[in-house]
A and B are shown apart, each in its own frame.
Chain A
């Protein structure tokens, strides 16, 4: 059998396909052939594939209906390998390539004959709207079980189970004028804007630009329309100020003319992106466009008529029939009946006839149609049945006949006897719906126009609609509107466009369309054979009528009850028909039933394009200190603190076994308490504060006093928000009279700098002070433990004598030959020196410390050990022991509050509120578990009476809890109601596993309560 015979519906000539080359592809396991220029849909039609899916709810066979983004049925799963799986691809928008492998999305287990078909036929009657809500929601516990089978049977596509081999990225674009749509209106607009020298981006979702001009019967300047397209595209491509993006869908229109364009760069070439010169290409790219002005030239979707059996394969949109014939050289049948409410539909019959196929009849709902195309059809000898419509399509797996009868639109009834016309294809046209989706995304409600029987977009400032998107369909007017929009948009952005001379278009004479949506049947809607409104979600006219009878009046409710428009096609074909039916049932005009709101995305977008390169090790920034490599090389496990990677602990291999966290932390803690440990503290926020009012400013943002802090001294500071709750803490040092260095928590650094700027700029601009972040400039190495002084003394010129360099002081000098500021402050309770050097020298200083530190047992420790050591001392960590509801007094830190400071510092007033003054607030205490082996769970709830009936009154919770090798016991910090007055009392911690732990309230300072060790 020759190939041309295999492609049974392929015409001998015509179409924009390359017949010199043949491409093989696979659909549902069967091999077929098509040509470059085909879509998967046109190739399937060429091969006579009638059934491409099973329907969502009733499992009815479905065929291709449309030729573009609005296709509801031909939804396929692409991919020959697991990794290449792509769900929910519209066959009408997928270019054919050699080796393409596709399966029906619906139709488990088999599209031709499936088990669900039986269920569908039996169950159909029993599946009214709201069926799922009514049937499967109770008992709720079984929904998960139902859902699995419903999903599998309904077929919503599936995601790949293997990693995607492709890459995707983003491109930030800016332009004066974004033109969405490269059809007649869009190209005219682009041409005008481009000639003004404005920066223009043209995005078009199809394989090639031109839109409806690619299959138009009309001529421009007496030449085929596609010649004008080629000429315009060539001119646009020659401009530096124009970016042409074919295969690019404007999928979302966000605030401030931020539009996301989804460009499919290689999906027409193969299922994974081919290499170019050995380098990868991105499969899809998201253009994140910030546009000055946006022109919506998105065209219009043809509306099908709603009649009985309108879902049987062989029922198609009239315009799609024309497109397949003229653009793809495919006539998807032999005998056509056209049912239409308007002149445009006639095109399909004319094209069909010219393709050498039989037009059985044109059935026109209007009594006396008149117009150029009507006359052309008459001249061709095509039979026209007026005042009538196809009321029912007959056939199972393919249309076999059309039942045609006179209808009375106003009375909504069949007004004459039906005749049956044998045919295999029924094309229908109920007029056009402007593609208003993107305008809807901006929040603008569309407006109904009776003259065009459709919604046109309302436009926010800076948006222009032209052509079909604006309800303008006559080609000459479409072009003129496009040019006008282009000139206007460019002008707003400051670019004057020269005149654009438009090609000559012969104006078509057309008669008015009939307002026909649902076609009446002899039987009432509820008893007639199914009349489908939303093919993808199996919503029928009867379903909508039933919904209105059950009391749903707003179209938003009807949609949700029936699921109309909730498929991946968002009801592009069905929504307006559905609204018209609801309006008819409710006896109200269409716009009163509501408008339809579309949301991003216009068509499904692959997650890859949304994510771009923000994945894997580029998912989020990882911030490293200057010593990061050393930590990596020494086997550190890392903890995320904000975006920083901080060494968590350094497991060592002891006797061939890698230490656990617990073992490593015990070893690190002992090293600090007994010898000397070293911590990379570079991540702490550091803010350089300069100015004559720096000291006054500190006094206002910290709770404690700063007026007497002398040069060379350091002080711990506590910061509250204006609600009196602790927000940050850290040590601030006086570098000079007008110069301080503030340290903040690692996670709070950026927010605190903003906080300081906020108060300075908005409340106290009269204070002369400046803040600059120097966090990254300095590397901070904390050496702590009894041997710290001896170690440091070996490599510094600073006098470390305890009398000349006291606790809470800083000195400048050299450490390991590097200029350093050394701060004698302590977060461990041990003798501590924090060595700060310019970060580029940090590695040298760190390594020098280790060279000298071995004999002192210098041990690197991480954040976990730091946490244990500070908790033993009762030092809080803001954000762990506090949660935004804790005052300094709750923490027992009255010593750190300057109640009598002259200026009302941030939070002071809030601390006198009745709520912050009341007794029984949760207060920070220590907890000692009765069983020393128990390490309480952080977050565990505390109760006073474990025998109390559930729900027990909660008395507080554990904020920090560790095992202390020094105490050889578990210990915890906790907040407990009235805890400061309950020292020595016992509390209980009932756990999820049924155990109840017992603990004693103690001072939060577990170790060296007098602070002698850090003062040595």
Chain B
């Protein structure tokens, strides 16, 4: 285990916890999804999120062994386990985002550090700093076209891709885990802006929020 400090920031479930959108729901409401909704928005809150940095070969071996998933084989790749609960996304040539069910991240970090030993790498827990938003529905792509500069056409953004791009006047990670679903990873401090932007842009598609 490298000489870094690890810290399990989670505690027992009796302690109240607030997702990054908690304030936004109270402030802006959450329009219910209805039959006319052509797009729905759902926050998958409080997931475990780790940023891995290091050489691809070393990290790839470690995550295969510990997580059962290899690093994506190419830039802008996104891989996930069969149930879509655990994923690894390329962020930059030596940087990946790992998302796992909430509460798994500390054990994952600990086991990765054990496995990686003295290799040079970094693992940073960012679980409290970002949240994942899902978009589904036939208008999801057009909603994204109003929002992100990156080309989200299926020929250019196939399933299994993830990019960091401009989101209105902020930034976000955009991922496509399946044919029907898009995911946005937004920073906590920008989450309210992103939420209000999406509600506004989605109004013409009768956007509904699933909670």
Contacts and interface: CB of A to CB of B under 8 A. Distances in A.
A458 to B, nearest CB: 29
A622 B15 CA distance: 28
Contacts of A288: 149
B16 interface: yes
A817 interface: yes
Contacts, number: 176
Contacts of A688: 122, 124
B3 A739 contact: yes
A838 B10 contact: yes
Given A775-B129, A841-B17, A844-B16, A770 B54 contact: yes
Nearest to B205: A279
A966 B30 CA distance: 47
Contact of A171 (B9, B145, B192): B145
A614 B206 contact: no
A281 interface: yes
Given A279-B203, A739-B4, A170 B121 contact: no
Contacts of A620: 169
Contact of B129 (A169, A281, A624, A776): A776
Contacts of A626: 18, 20, 188
A843 B16 contact: yes
Contacts of B178: none
Q: Indicate the member of A171, A625, A688 with the most B CB atoms within 10 Å.
A: A688
A626 B153 CA distance: 35
23 contacts: A172-B146, A172-B150, A613-B200, A614-B169, A621-B193, A626-B18, A629-B23, A738-B2, A738-B3, A772-B122, A772-B124, A776-B188, A777-B125, A778-B129, A812-B7, A814-B11, A816-B15, A817-B12, A819-B9, A838-B128, A841-B15, A843-B18, A844-B16
Contacts of B17: 840-841, 844
Contacts of A839: 20, 128-129, 188
Interface string B1-29: 01111011111101111111011001100
B200 A777 contact: no
Contact of A280 (B20, B94, B203): B203
Interface string A606-646: 00000001100110111111101100000000000000100
B124 A690 contact: yes
A777 B153 contact: no
B120 interface: yes
Contact of A736 (B5, B53, B196): B5
A738 B6 CA distance: 12
Interface string A278-292: 011110000010100
A775 B23 CA distance: 19
Nearest to A818: B11
Contact of B15 (A621, A691, A844): A844
B9 A735 contact: no
Contact of A621 (B19, B146, B170, B204): B170
Contacts of B156: 174
A115 interface: no
Given A199-B155, A774-B126, A777-B129, A821 B7 contact: yes
Contacts of A375: none
A621 B169 contact: yes
A477 interface: no
B173 to A, nearest CB: 13
A830 to B, nearest CB: 27
Contacts of A171: 142, 145-146
A277 B35 CA distance: 13
B192 A837 contact: no
B151 A841 contact: no
Contact of A772 (B3, B53, B149, B188): B53
Given A618-B193, A691-B120, A777 B127 contact: yes
Nearest to A733: B5
A692 interface: yes
B36 A624 contact: no
A737 interface: yes
Contact of A624 (B10, B12, B192, B203): B192
A768 interface: yes
Q: Please list the 10 inter-chain residue pairs (A to B) with the smallest Cβ-Cβ separation, ordered nearest first.
A: A776-B129, A777-B129, A770-B122, A838-B9, A838-B128, A690-B122, A735-B5, A174-B151, A623-B189, A739-B4
Interface in A909-967: none
A173 interface: yes
B46 interface: yes
Interface residues of B, number: 65
A170 B128 contact: no
A273 B129 CA distance: 40
Interface in B93-142: 94, 120-130, 142
A618 B36 contact: no
Interface string A435-472: 00000000000000000000000000000000000000
A624 B189 contact: yes
B192 A622 contact: yes
B130 A817 contact: no
Nearest to A616: B200
Given A174-B151, A817-B15, A772 B5 contact: no
B79 interface: no
B193 A622 contact: yes
A841 B127 CA distance: 12
Given A172-B146, A738-B2, 18 more contacts: A199-B155, A282-B204, A613-B201, A629-B23, A690-B122, A691-B120, A711-B5, A737-B3, A739-B4, A772-B51, A772-B53, A772-B124, A819-B8, A838-B9, A840-B46, A840-B127, A841-B11, A844-B16
Contact of A174 (B9, B129, B153): B153
B120 A768 contact: yes
A114 B3 CA distance: 86
B148 interface: yes
A777 B47 CA distance: 12
Given A621-B169, A629-B23, A840-B19, A735 B129 contact: no
A779 B7 CA distance: 15
B202 to A, nearest CB: 11
Nearest to A281: B204
A778 B145 contact: no
A777 B201 CA distance: 28
Contacts of B176: none
A590 B86 CA distance: 69
Which of B4, B156, B190, B192 has the largest count of A CB atoms less than 10 A from its CB? B4
Contacts of B146: 169-172, 613
B199 to A, nearest CB: 10
B168 interface: yes
Contacts of B130: 776
A110 B190 CA distance: 53
Contacts of A738: 2-4
B189 A644 contact: yes
A737 B4 CA distance: 7
A776 B19 CA distance: 12
Contacts of A280: 203-204
Nearest to A814: B11
Contact of A840 (B3, B18, B94): B18
A777 B128 contact: yes
B66 to A, nearest CB: 18
A288 to B, nearest CB: 8
Nearest to A693: B120
B200 A770 contact: no
Nearest to A844: B16
Contacts of B161: none
Nearest to B102: A840
B175 interface: no
Given A199-B153, A840-B46, A736 B188 contact: no
B94 to A, nearest CB: 8
Contact of B149 (A172, A282, A736, A737): A172
Interface string A365-384: 00000000000000000000
Nearest to B4: A739
Contacts of B5: 711, 735-736, 739
